[in-house]
Structure 1
Amino acid sequence: MERQPDKSAADRARPGPRGAWAALRPLVLRLHFYAGVFVAPFVLVAAATGLLYVWTPQIEQAVYAEQLYVEPGGEPLPLHEQVRTARAELSGAEVDAVRPATGEEDSTRVLFDLPGSAESHRTTVFVDPYGGEVLGVTETYGTSGALPARTWVDMLHRNLHLGDAGRLYSELAASWLWVVALGGAALWASTALRRRGGARRLLVPGAGTAPGRPRSVSVHGAAGTWLLAGLLFLSATGLTWSQHAGANITELRERLAWTTPSVSADVPNASPGVDIGIDTVLAGARDAGLDGPVEISLPKDPAAPYTVTQIDRSWPTSVDSAAIAADTGEVVDVVRFSDYPLMAKLSRWGIDAHMGVLFGVPNQLVLTAVALGVVVVAAWGYRMWWQRRPTRGRALGVGRPYPRGSFRALTWPWRAAVVVVLAGLGWAVPLVGASLAVFLAVDAALGWRARRQRRTAGPPPAAPGSGDAPVAGSRSR
C-alpha cells in the first residue's frame, strides 16, 4: 500500500472536534508547560498554607480553651449583666456586638470596635456566663471570630503577611489553577483515551506505562484528573476574595442581582433613646426562629434596630437574620436563607466549603486530600520537566519548552478565536492577562537568543562519509 502523506497544519485545523483539537493541542501543551513551571510554586504555597488553615479550628480550640469554655454552674446570668462586666474591662469603649453563649460550656463574647483597629478586626472580651468573670481579652477577626493563631494562619494563606501586595500571590495561584487544570485534563484525556485500555489509563496512575518519564506523565495526568473538580472549585471560590478578579465578580453579581440580601434598618415610628435591652432582643430573635449561635449587633443610631444574625457555618441553612426594634422588641424584618437568590446561596456554600467549615470534619478531610494531591501533581510535573532535560552537552539542565510555532500553524480563524478568548480572559482575570504577557515576552526573548546562537554557530558540520551531500533542510545548488 502507498504510504499516506503526513497531515499538514492546515489539515489539522479543519473544522470538527478532532481537527480543532489537533490544531490547538500544541498551543495548549506549550501554555500548560509555561504555566506549570512558573505558576506551580505559587500554587504549592497556597496548598501548603491552605492545608494548615483547614485544621485551625481544632488548633484554636486547644490553644484558647481557657477563653472559649467554662464549667457549667447553675443558671447563667442575664446577658445584659455579662455585657456590663465586659464594658468595665474596657472602660470607655463602645460595644459593637455580642455573641451569647450557645452551649452549656461556652463563654460569651462581647465585641468592641476600638479606634485604630484593622478592617474586620475587633477586640473581644470573653465572659463566664455563670460567674460573670472575665476569662480573657484578645483580638478576633471576621465572621468566624478567628482568634490570633487562626488569624495568623489565615493571613499567611491570604497574603503571606505582606499586605495587599502579598495578595497578588494567592490571586495568581487561583487565577491560573483552573486554566492549568482544564488544559492538563484535556491533554491527558486525549493521550490516554486513544490507547488500549484508555479508561483505565485515564484514572489509574502508572497503568500500562513503562518506567521513567512515561510513568511520571501517567501519575501526573491521572492524579490531576481525580483532582479536577476540587481544583476548579478552589479556583472559583478563591477568586471571589481576590483584589482584581474579585472586583469583577462582585460587579457581575450586582448587575445580575445575585448579591446577598440584608435586613432593613428602617423602623416605623421608632422612639429614639428607648432601649428594651439585649435580653429581650435575644428572646425575640429566638422566637423568630434564629436558633444556634448568633451575633447581636447593637444599634449605631438611636432610631436604628438591633440586628441578629446566625453565624453557624457548619450547616448550609443557618444564616438567617432579623432586625428587632430597640424600643418595642418587635421583629421588623427577617431575611431567611431560603429566600436568598440561588447564586447567593451557592456563593455562601462555596465560601464556607473553601474555608473547611461546611459540614465540619468531612469538609476538612476532603480539602486535606485535595491539598496533598496538588503537592503530588506539582511534584510529578517538575519530575517530568527534569526527565526531559538534555543528557549530553550539559551537566546541568532542565527540559526545554515544547516547540514554538504552534500559534503560527493555526489557520486565521483559529488565530482570531485564540486572541479573542485570551483577551477576554485577561480582562476578566487580570493576573492571567498580565502573567501571560510575561510568558510571551520570555518566550520571545528565548526564541531570539536561540536564533542568534544558530546564526553565530553556522551550519552543523556534515556527517562523516557524507561527501558533498547538502545538509538536511538546506537547498542544493
Structure 2
Amino acid sequence: MSVTPEVTAPAPASTPVPRRANGGSAFGALLLRVHFYAGLMIAPFLIVAAVTGLLFVSTPTLDRIIYADELLVADAGGDTVPVSQQLAAARAAHPEGTITGVRVKGGEWTTHVDFSVPELAAAEKVHTVYVDPYTGAVTGQLTTQFGWTPLQAWLDVLHRDLHLGPAGNLYSELAASWLWVIALGGIVLWWRRRRTVRKLFAPELSARKGVRRTRGWHGAVGAWLLVGLLGLSATGLTWSNYAGAHFGLLIDQIKGGTPSVSTALTGAPGAEAGGHHGGGAVPATATDPDGIDTAVTVARDNGLDGPVSIVPPADARTAWKVSQIDTQFPERLDSVAVDTATGTVTDRVDLADWPFTAKLTNWGINAHMGLLFGPVNQIVLAALALGLLCIIFWGYRMWWQRRPTRDGRRALAGAAPARVDWRTVPAWAIVTGILVVFAIGWALPLFGIPLAAFVVVDAIVTTVRDRRGNGRGDRAEVPVSPAPTGS
C-alpha cells in the first residue's frame, strides 16, 4: 500500500522587526553608538583645538624669529652687570609705571623687567622692557601677558576661546570633556575586534582598500596616541571654566594646592598660589626697589640657580620674593623670601614641600603647553595634534565609505549604528550606569549635559520610529552601518 507523502505548507514569513542590538552585545552596541555620535559631533571642535594647539606649541620657535631683538642677546658670555644696573636702564627707558617683577634667565636670554600701567591692568597685561645682561643696554619693549610675547598670548587665547570670550571657552572645554570618552571608547571597540596587543597597534594592511583598511589605520594610530590624548584631555580640563572650578574645589578640600612662600616680615602665613597658567597678581612697589642685588645674591647662596623671577616688596613690611622658573627641568621650582635689610631668608618653600597633586598639576599644565623639557615636548605635542587630525579624517572617511551605493538606496554617508534594546540590559547595570554618568556629568558638565541631551533625543526618535513602524505593519528598518570612529 502506497502512502501519499504529506505536503507541508510553507511556514509563514516571520514579521521583520527593527534591527536592535540585544543580549550580551548591549554594552558594545551602546558604546559603538555613543562613540559614533560623539566622534561625529565633537570632531569639529577637536579639529579646531588641534590646529590652534599646533600653532601655540610653535611659538617658542616663532618667538626666536619674530622677537629676536628683544629676547636674545647679541653676544652671550662673560660677566653680567649687576641686576640693579639692568633695572636702572629699564626704568630710564620706561619712566612711568610700577615695577612688578624681574626675570633673570641667563645664557642667551635678555633680562625681562615688567611695569604695570593702569590702562593695561584690566587685561592682566604689562609693559616688559628687555635688557642685555652683559652690557646693560635696553634691547626693546613689548606688551606682554603672564610673561608671554604678544604672539604667544594671542595664540593662547585663540586656543582657549577663539577670541570669543566666555562663550568661546565652551568650545575648548567641550572638546576636552569628550576627548577622553572618545579615545577610551575607541580603544575598547578596537580591542574587541583585534583581541591581542600586537594587533592592537598594527593597522590591517592585508585588508583590501575600503572601510577595513581605513578602520585599521584609524584604530592603530588611535592606540598609539591614546596615552597622549588622555593627558591632553585631563590637563586641558584642569583650568577650564566649569570642570576646572570643580577640580579647584577638590584640590582645596584635600589641601593639594601649590604653596606660596610668605613675604610677610611679621611672620604672617602665605596663601596658596592660583591663577590661570600659574599667573596671578603680584605685589606692586610704590617706588623703584632697592636691594635687588642683595635679594638675588642671597637666593643664589641658598641654592636657587638657573632662571629666577624676582618680585619686589609691596612695602616696608614685606620681603623680596625670588622663585625658580625653569619649566624645562621641573625640579627647579623653589622659592625664598629675602629680607634685604638683614640679608637673610625669612621663609622658604621648595618643590619637595609641594603636595603631589600640586606637582602633578604643574607638570601637566607645562606639558600641555609645550614647556616641559623644551623642544622634545613641543615635538610630541605636534605629533599628537597631527595624529588626532588623521584619526578624525579616517573616521569621517569610514562614515562616507559605509554609505549605501546601490540604485534606489544611495546616500551621502553611512547610517548610525544599531540602537540598544534596553529591555535586555539588567536593571542593576542600568542603575549603576546612571549613577556613574551623573557623577561624571557633575564633575564635567560639558560632558554630562550633551550626553543627557543625546539620550533623550535618541529615546524620542526611537519611540517615534517604533510607533510608525508598528503602524505600517512593523516593517524592518534599513540595516545600519557601524560607526566611523573606532569600531
TM class by shorter-chain length? 0.7 to 0.9
State the distance in 2 between where 1:10 and 1:45 align: 37
- 1:95, 1:111 within 8 Å by CA — same for their partners in 2? yes
State the distance in 1 between where 2:46 and 2:231 align: 14
Q: What is the deviation of 1:208?
A: 4.2
Residue identity (%): 46
SS at match of 1:129: coil
Which of 99, 112, 117 does residue 114 from structure 1 map onto? Answer: 117
State the distance in 1 between where 2:417 and 2:399 align: 11
- 1:324, 1:333 within 8 Å by CA — same for their partners in 2? yes
Shift of the 378–200 alpha-carbon distance from structure 1 to 2, 3 Å rule, reads same
State the distance in 2 between where 1:100 and 1:201 align: 51
Q: What is the deviation of 1:231?
A: 0.9
State the distance in 1 between where 2:463 and 2:404 align: 20
The one-character-per-residue Cα deviations of 1:345-384 (angstroms, maximum 9, x if unpaired) are 1112111111112111221221122111111111111111
Counterpart in the other structure of 1:124: 128
- 2:98, 2:287 within 8 Å by CA — same for their partners in 1? no
Q: Which residue type is aligned with residue 36 of structure 1?
A: G
- 2:105, 2:306 within 8 Å by CA — same for their partners in 1? no
Shift of the 226–384 alpha-carbon distance from structure 1 to 2, 3 Å rule, reads same
The one-character-per-residue Cα deviations of 1:316-346 (angstroms, maximum 9, x if unpaired) are 2111111111432311111111222222211
Higher deviation after alignment, 109-118 or 437-446:
437-446
Counterpart in the other structure of 2:145: 141
Counterpart in the other structure of 2:43: 40
The one-character-per-residue Cα deviations of 1:64-100 (angstroms, maximum 9, x if unpaired) are 0101122349754332232222223332311001113
The one-character-per-residue Cα deviations of 1:118-174 (angstroms, maximum 9, x if unpaired) are 4542210112334443322211222xx210111111111111111121111111111
Counterpart in the other structure of 1:94: 98
State the distance in 1 between where 2:168 and 2:222 align: 27
- 1:276, 1:328 within 8 Å by CA — same for their partners in 2? no
- 1:356, 1:367 within 8 Å by CA — same for their partners in 2? yes
The one-character-per-residue Cα deviations of 1:292-320 (angstroms, maximum 9, x if unpaired) are 11110111232111111111100021111
Q: Which residue type is aligned with residue 448 of structure 2?
A: G
State the distance in 2 between where 1:285 and 1:190 align: 57
Q: Which of structures 1 and 2 has the larger relative contact order (alpha carbons within 8 angstroms, sep 6+)?
A: 2
> 1:46-445 alignment to 2 at 5 Å?
46-72=49-75, 75-103=79-107, 105-117=108-120, 118-142=122-146, 145-193=147-195, 198-268=196-266, 277-392=291-406, 393=408, 395-444=410-459
Shift of the 289–355 alpha-carbon distance from structure 1 to 2, 3 Å rule, reads same
Shift of the 216–25 alpha-carbon distance from structure 1 to 2, 3 Å rule, reads same
State the distance in 2 between where 1:173 and 1:87 align: 44
Q: Which residue type is aligned with residue 384 of structure 1?
A: M
Shift of the 249–101 alpha-carbon distance from structure 1 to 2, 3 Å rule, reads closer
- 1:9, 1:410 within 8 Å by CA — same for their partners in 2? no
Which of 18, 30, 34 does residue 31 from structure 1 map onto? Answer: 34
Q: What is the deviation of 1:200?
A: 3.8
Shift of the 112–219 alpha-carbon distance from structure 1 to 2, 3 Å rule, reads same
Shift of the 201–74 alpha-carbon distance from structure 1 to 2, 3 Å rule, reads closer
Shift of the 414–59 alpha-carbon distance from structure 1 to 2, 3 Å rule, reads same
SS at match of 1:125: strand
The one-character-per-residue Cα deviations of 1:257-309 (angstroms, maximum 9, x if unpaired) are 21111101221499x99975111111111111111111101112321111111
Q: What is the deviation of 1:395?
A: 4.5
Shift of the 406–349 alpha-carbon distance from structure 1 to 2, 3 Å rule, reads farther
- 2:289, 2:312 within 8 Å by CA — same for their partners in 1? no
- 1:101, 1:129 within 8 Å by CA — same for their partners in 2? no
**5+ residue gaps, structure 1:** 1-7, 13-21, 462-477
Q: What is the deviation of 1:10?
A: 7.9
Counterpart in the other structure of 1:4: none
Shift of the 59–275 alpha-carbon distance from structure 1 to 2, 3 Å rule, reads closer
TM (norm. structure 2) is 0.83
Shift of the 388–38 alpha-carbon distance from structure 1 to 2, 3 Å rule, reads same
SS at match of 2:419: coil
State the distance in 2 between where 1:85 and 1:284 align: 23
- 1:99, 1:295 within 8 Å by CA — same for their partners in 2? yes
SS at match of 1:92: coil
- 1:40, 1:378 within 8 Å by CA — same for their partners in 2? yes
**5+ residue gaps, structure 2:** 1-19, 269-285, 477-487
- 1:35, 1:176 within 8 Å by CA — same for their partners in 2? yes
SS at match of 1:295: strand
TM (norm. structure 1) is 0.85
The one-character-per-residue Cα deviations of 1:394-453 (angstroms, maximum 9, x if unpaired) are 554222211223444311111111111111111010100111123234424543564576
State the distance in 1 between where 2:153 and 2:127 align: 13
- 2:295, 2:343 within 8 Å by CA — same for their partners in 1? yes
State the distance in 1 between where 2:87 and 2:207 align: 67
State the distance in 1 between where 2:160 and 2:23 align: 47
Q: Which residue type is aligned with residue 138 of structure 1?
A: L
- 1:320, 1:336 within 8 Å by CA — same for their partners in 2? yes
Higher deviation after alignment, 447-456 or 384-393:
447-456
CA RMSD of aligned residues (A): 2.6
- 1:100, 1:108 within 8 Å by CA — same for their partners in 2? yes
Q: Which residue type is aligned with residue 77 of structure 1?
A: V
Shift of the 370–306 alpha-carbon distance from structure 1 to 2, 3 Å rule, reads same
Q: Which residue type is aligned with residue 436 of structure 2?
A: V
- 2:100, 2:115 within 8 Å by CA — same for their partners in 1? yes
Q: Which residue type is aligned with residue 230 of structure 1?
A: G
Shift of the 387–151 alpha-carbon distance from structure 1 to 2, 3 Å rule, reads same
- 1:77, 1:129 within 8 Å by CA — same for their partners in 2? yes
Shift of the 202–299 alpha-carbon distance from structure 1 to 2, 3 Å rule, reads same
